Amino acid sequence: MKILIIEDEPELQEVIRESLEKENFLVETASDYTSALNKIISFNYDCILLDIMIPGGSGLDILQELKDLDKSDNVIIISAKDSLDDKLAGLELGADDYLTKPFHIAELNARIKSVLRRKSFGGKNTVELANLKLDLDDRTLHIENELLALNRKEFDILTYMIVNKNRLVNKTSLAEHVWGDHMDEADDFEFIYSQIKNLRKKLKESQAGVEIQAVYGLGYKLMVI
């Protein structure tokens, strides 16, 4: 899962980033309005943590831009401004939650996971498809009640494919989801290919009820078999 932190306080930004990376999230950051706007226009994120007061503009304007781009899902406002008007304005523009500074990092992590489960998996922390059971909190996969070991990238790829089951997932969007905006296309496409190859082999050998099908030159589809 890929998260964007839009926060101009360096120490807080770093604390949040380190905490989320320990939870195995892929994390990107922006410290001002312009860099934040460039990122939300160029990339897709599973969750955005948004400070209302940022240099160069307002977080509410970022929310409006996300709404115009139809990307306003999974936004959590983190701000020192705690007036009711600010909260209502943010929620009306599409934010999913509002957390007032100062806050405990554990609470932020819980809010993020809650939003992701609610949006992607109907509020569940486990996902079942065919004979697969995916635990999003423990990051484990069971097939027919047998644990199948996956590395971090394999788990992220499988989760993303399940969210988009039966849809064509192109190589670029998959690479961005797994590697973020720091990807080097030649190297990371090869890396993604090797991870998917290993994941497909593991699923087949474990007699999984799904398979990741390659669509030549375009990308991949996850299908129930």
Each residue of 19-55: pLDDT tens digit? Answer: 999 888 889 999 999 999 999 998 889 899 999 889 9
Output the pLDDT for position 136.
Answer: 82
In this structure, are 14 and 112 located in the same domain?
yes
Output the pLDDT for position 5.
Answer: 97
In this structure, are 169 and 136 located in the same domain?
yes
In this structure, are 106 and 10 located in the same domain?
yes
Output the pLDDT for position 146.
Answer: 94
Question: 86, 103, 120 — which closes off a domain?
Answer: 120
Output the pLDDT for position 83.
Answer: 67
Measured from the Cβ of residue 183, the count of other Cβ atoms closer than 10 Å reads 16
Query: CA-based Rg of the chain, rounded to a whole angstrom?
Result: 18
Most distant CA pair in the chain, distance: 56
pLDDT < 70: residue spans in the chain? 72-73, 82-84, 119-120, 122-123, 178-189
Question: 120, 140, 166 — which closes off a domain?
Answer: 120
In this structure, are 11 and 106 located in the same domain?
yes
- Pick left, alpha or beta for residue 78 (phi over 0 → left; psi -120 to 50 → alpha; otherwise beta): beta
In this structure, are 106 and 211 located in the same domain?
no
Output the pLDDT for position 72.
Answer: 66
Beta bridge partners of 47: 3
What is the distance between the alpha carbons of residues 107 and 71, in angstroms, rounded to a whole number? 24
In this structure, are 108 and 33 located in the same domain?
yes
In this structure, are 172 and 210 located in the same domain?
yes
Question: 73, 100, 120 — which closes off a domain?
Answer: 120
In this structure, are 138 and 89 located in the same domain?
no
Output the six-digit token pair for 159: 């989760």
Q: What is the CATH number of the domain that holds 94?
A: 3.40.50.2300
Q: What is the CATH number of the domain that holds 187?
A: 1.10.10.10
**Residue 158 sits in which domain range?**
126-224
In this structure, are 146 and 201 located in the same domain?
yes
In this structure, are 94 and 10 located in the same domain?
yes
In this structure, are 10 and 90 located in the same domain?
yes
Number of domains into which the chain is organized: 2
In this structure, are 106 and 6 located in the same domain?
yes
Output the pLDDT for position 186.
Answer: 47
Output the pLDDT for position 187.
Answer: 53
Output the six-digit token pair for 70: 């139809």
